[in-house]
Amino acid sequence: MKIFCVGRNYAEHAIELKNEIPTEPVIFIKPKSALLPDNLPFYYPEFTNELHYECELVFRISKNGKYIRDYRAGKYIDAVTVGIDFTARDIQNELKKKGLPWEKAKAWDHSAILGEWIELGDIDQKNPIEFSMELNDVTVQNGNSKNMIFPVGKIIENISRYFALHIGDIIYTGTPAGVGECVVGDHLCGYIGNEKLFDLDIK
């Protein structure tokens, strides 16, 4: 299983981090070990002093493929959820200053949180998907798939130019504005519409 992630896919988020708005998808990969297994607690990593949450829509690949055109991409995904792409922001900023890769800040063990899957047949795909995240019962992020710079079809087309997609791969599609720091004792909940899909305590 591969975990693909898209950076800077919402203009307001790119602006809040003082990044340029990209002209093509910014793709990076997390290893399978980045995924927090079901029912395991999440522990604040000891190597960072600035842990940031980034809530995102996540899609599941249901069919093997390569060189997939965007208008056919819907045939290659079967479920959606929300997840968190945790970022050690202090480490990322230092790596960026040196022009180095981000893996230490983005791809560490258990840095990827997944909610419960919703089968795409159970939602109206003609309408944009609204999602949100609460931090300690306060909504801190609101997102809508219509505001993606690159919609999921374009993302799949771009990824599949370089990497074969396989059943079970997942794609984090980028975070909207509102990312921020979290600390031990915080409680995070992620939603699509009004349906809660993850519920996470930071220990």
Cα dihedral across residues 15, 135, 145, 172: positive or negative: positive
Cα dihedral across residues 114, 82, 121, 10: positive or negative: negative
| 175 beta partners | none
What's the pLDDT at 20? 78
All structural domains of the chain:
3-201 (3.90.850.10)
From the list 146, 157, 2, the residue with the least C-alpha distance to 69 is: 157
What's the pLDDT at 21? 78
Q: Give the global pTM.
A: 0.94
In angstroms, the CA 150 to CA 129 distance is: 14
pLDDT, one tens digit for every residue, the chain (203 residues): 999 999 889 987 656 656 677 899 999 999 999 999 988 999 999 999 999 999 999 999 999 999 999 999 999 999 999 999 999 999 999 998 999 998 999 999 999 999 999 999 877 667 899 999 999 999 999 999 999 999 999 999 999 999 999 999 999 999 999 999 999 999 999 999 999 999 999 99
